[in-house]
A and B are shown apart, each in its own frame.
Chain A
Amino acid sequence: MSGTAVVETEIEPLSGEDRWSLYRQMLLIRRFEERCNALFLQGKIPSTLHLYIGQEAVAVGICAALRVDDYLTSTHRPHGHALAKGVSAGPIMAELFAKSNGCCKGKGGSMHVGGMEVGMPPAIAIVGGGAPVAAGMALSSKMRRSGQVTASFFGDGGANEGAVHEAMNMAAIWRLPVLFVCENNLYGASTPVGQTVAVENIADRAAGYGMPGVIVDGNDVLAVRDAALAAVRRARAGEGPTLLECKTYRFCGHSRSDACNYRTRDEEAAWKQRDPLLVLGAVLAAAEDPRFEEMERSVSEEIDAAVAYAEAGPDPLPEDALLHVYWEGE
């Protein structure tokens, strides 16, 4: 782990209750995504899906360090980010169902879910395109002296976009309050990261921008949260951005049509030993602890309610396509 900074700030550990809360958020994302997959197969979701299963600890750990009014930019794989930032499951599900009660009124779809009321503009599905926007939101916070921080998520693939380079350089020179969160899940669609990045760690690039680069176990939500909190404090203190590389793995294919023939079943099995739910679960309690079962039930109910909300929602009118090309007021 060369060329990277060690988190030195004193980060107080989370209470047991807060840890259970993180577990529940990860479980919600996991079960939400599994339900999406089933609904897709039933033909109820009229688009592709980029599932977040396996990477839940990153979204939840980062957002655990953020305030409600902090900002976030997401990617084509945004469901987990949106749920972790606080967009309700119902409006997200309704958006996937292409309903007019969706979080984008049916104009976004899976790749553009968001909710500005919790600081998340529509997810930006152009790889790397969110990083300069995130820098702009951070510049705005700095100019307004609001103390807000922006987390910009991108993958190992996005790390190679020029937009990310420009954004990181600008954030560093002006010490903008940004967390550049690289979710390195080892594959840009089908291409292994080793073919696209010449350094061992993407975080190693941070030195080239004059910002700390931190490598985190992206399947350990407590580690992600601790690293994020240190970076958030640094950002709020006016000390500038941090590049956090979260090493993780997507358990599903890149999109719904991907059978993952470019990676081995052994590799997948090894990573599933480090399932973020197992990693935190082992810290929380014995597997037979009844709280796990209670949480499963409560999460299932929340998702049932989200699906019901989506199914009950009206289809948009065809002519709604003509609305909101320009700002029409609050």
Chain B
Amino acid sequence: MALLTIAEALREGIREEMRRDPTVFCLGEDIGVPGGFGGAFTVTLGLSEEFGHERILDTPISEIGIAGLAIGAAMTGMRPIADVQYGDFLFCMMDQLANQAAKMTYMSGGTVKVPMVMRAPVGSTRRGSQHAQSLEAFFTHIPGLKVVAPSTAYDAKGLLKSAVRDDNPVLMFEHKLLYGSKGGRSEKGALSPIGEVPDEDYTVPIGKGIIRRPGRDVTVVGKLLTVYRALGAAETLAARGIEVEVIDPRTLVPLDMELILESVRRTGRLVVVEEDNRTHGWAAEVAAQVAEEAFFYLDAPIKRVSAPDTPPPFAPPMEALYVPSEQRVIDAVLYVLGEPPDAR
């Protein structure tokens, strides 16, 4: 058992999968250059020393090419782990992900498989509008892709391993504020959760959520950073006698709706927290499914806590409004309980 950051846990997961299976390799920008960064957030740091530059493949700045390479290699016997430096760059490769990776198995009548992983950092971290989006919902809307979003070191390693071993394209969203310290380049406001990670081989199954904190009064579903916002709110509210259950789905596609529904049937109240833009979003989908499947268990309207429908702003005061805060989660919980919001 080791105490690791998420970046370290991902690195160990990649290392172990590459040792286990010679068809696993990494490709991306700045991932293995000697003296370089090990990817934008250090996840692949040092791996080229063990595996060489053929298996830790530094690419040109060519996102369409990165995705296409991964797809072609995956269809022909390899298991690539590709990454983009910022999730925002996934839009550059949208055709490859949405039209090629996601549809090859289907269009071939189930005869072609695309076992690839695409890793992407998300989250607003004072970089302005084009290096900050939480764009998970775009990809949860594309049948054929699986989508995972780990928020702890244990889950990061376990889901990475499951993603590598899965025979489908898996997008892995990672939050920039959760990677862990990078020393001098550490992110302002980062939470740097450090968690216990087993030394022995283990996986976290794709499609299984987890209850991070049990509670009887309100179900709060969050992902990535907003799991921690929800946990903070739950702690604050516990002192006031309100027991919040916090659910982290960990996988967004396929979504563990059973876990969420079971919780809502007990609590009768639901808040969904996301850093994505609000309209047509991920939280809307969770709310809709709960409304369809558990409407008669609900004691109050479902409440969403999302980013507003704006691009991510740069200035810290504006960013503070954009990213859901613990207080906004608290207000939402109070709302579904019929309590007045906290005085400002």
A and B from one complex: yes
Q: Give residues in A with beta carbon < 8 Å to B.
A: 71, 73, 102-108, 112, 114, 116, 121-122, 124, 126, 129, 131-141, 143-144, 150, 162-163, 166-167, 169-170, 173, 323-328
Is B60's beta carbon under 8 Å from chain A? yes
> Which of A103, A105, A108, A140 is the one whose CB lies under 8 Å from B76?
A140
Determine the residue in chain A with the shortest Cβ distance to B75.
A121
A105 and B109 contacting across the interface, CB-CB below 8 Å: yes
Determine the residue in chain B with the shortest Cβ distance to A326.
B168
Could you list 17 examples of A-B contacts with CB < 8 Å?
Answer: A121-B112, A122-B108, A129-B68, A133-B68, A136-B69, A137-B75, A140-B72, A140-B78, A141-B76, A143-B25, A143-B55, A143-B78, A163-B64, A170-B65, A324-B105, A324-B110, A326-B144
Q: How close is A105's CB to chain B, nearest CB, in angstroms?
A: 3
B70 and A170 contacting across the interface, CB-CB below 8 Å: no
A126 and B60 contacting across the interface, CB-CB below 8 Å: no
A-B contacts, CB under 8 A, total: 146
Chain A neighbourhood of B111, CB < 8 A: 104, 116
A137 and B76 contacting across the interface, CB-CB below 8 Å: yes
B109 and A133 contacting across the interface, CB-CB below 8 Å: no
CA A122 to CA B75, docked complex, whole Å: 11
Chain A neighbourhood of B144, CB < 8 A: 325-326
If the complex has contacts A107-B107, A325-B144, are A167 and B76 also in contact, measured as CB distance less than 8 A?
no
CA A106 to CA B106, docked complex, whole Å: 10
Q: How close is A315's CB to chain B, nearest CB, in angstroms?
A: 14
A104 and B64 contacting across the interface, CB-CB below 8 Å: no
Is B285's beta carbon under 8 Å from chain A? no
Chain B neighbourhood of A105, CB < 8 A: 109-110
Is B77's beta carbon under 8 Å from chain A? yes
A163 and B95 contacting across the interface, CB-CB below 8 Å: yes
B168 and A324 contacting across the interface, CB-CB below 8 Å: no
Is B99's beta carbon under 8 Å from chain A? yes
**Chain B contact residues (Cβ within 8 angstroms of A): what range?**
35 or more
CA A50 to CA B238, docked complex, whole Å: 65
Is B258's beta carbon under 8 Å from chain A? no
Is B198's beta carbon under 8 Å from chain A? no
CA A94 to CA B189, docked complex, whole Å: 59
If the complex has contacts A129-B99, A140-B78, A143-B78, are A135 and B109 also in contact, measured as CB distance less than 8 A?
no
Q: Give residues in B with beta carbon < 8 Å to A.
A: 23, 25, 54-55, 59-60, 62, 64-65, 67-78, 80, 95-96, 99-100, 103-115, 143-144, 146, 167-168
If the complex has contacts A140-B78, A170-B62, are A132 and B68 also in contact, measured as CB distance less than 8 A?
yes
7 closest A-B pairs by beta carbon, nearest first, are A132-B68, A136-B72, A105-B109, A166-B65, A324-B110, A136-B69, A166-B62
Q: How close is B177's CB to chain A, nearest CB, in angstroms?
A: 31
Determine the residue in chain B with the shortest Cβ distance to A104.
B109
Chain B neighbourhood of A169, CB < 8 A: 60, 62, 65
Determine the residue in chain A with the shortest Cβ distance to B114.
A327
CA A85 to CA B154, docked complex, whole Å: 47
Chain A neighbourhood of B143, CB < 8 A: 325
If the complex has contacts A136-B69, A166-B64, A326-B144, are A129 and B96 also in contact, measured as CB distance less than 8 A?
yes
CA A300 to CA B271, docked complex, whole Å: 66
- Sample of 6 more A-B contacts, CB < 8 Å, known A163-B65, A327-B110: A132-B69, A133-B100, A134-B68, A136-B73, A325-B105, A327-B114
If the complex has contacts A104-B108, A126-B99, are A138 and B72 also in contact, measured as CB distance less than 8 A?
yes
B60 and A136 contacting across the interface, CB-CB below 8 Å: no
B106 and A107 contacting across the interface, CB-CB below 8 Å: yes
B96 and A132 contacting across the interface, CB-CB below 8 Å: yes
Determine the residue in chain B with the shortest Cβ distance to A122.
B107
CA A121 to CA B99, docked complex, whole Å: 13
> Which of A73, A107, A143, A144 is the one whose CB lies under 8 Å from B109?
A107
> Which of B55, B77, B112 is the one whose CB lies under 8 Å from A140?
B77
CA A126 to CA B104, docked complex, whole Å: 13
B65 and A126 contacting across the interface, CB-CB below 8 Å: no
> Which of A102, A122, A162, A173 is the one whose CB lies under 8 Å from B60?
A173
Chain B neighbourhood of A327, CB < 8 A: 105, 110, 113-115, 167-168
Chain A neighbourhood of B95, CB < 8 A: 126, 129, 163
Q: How close is B84's CB to chain A, nearest CB, in angstroms?
A: 14
CA A73 to CA B110, docked complex, whole Å: 18
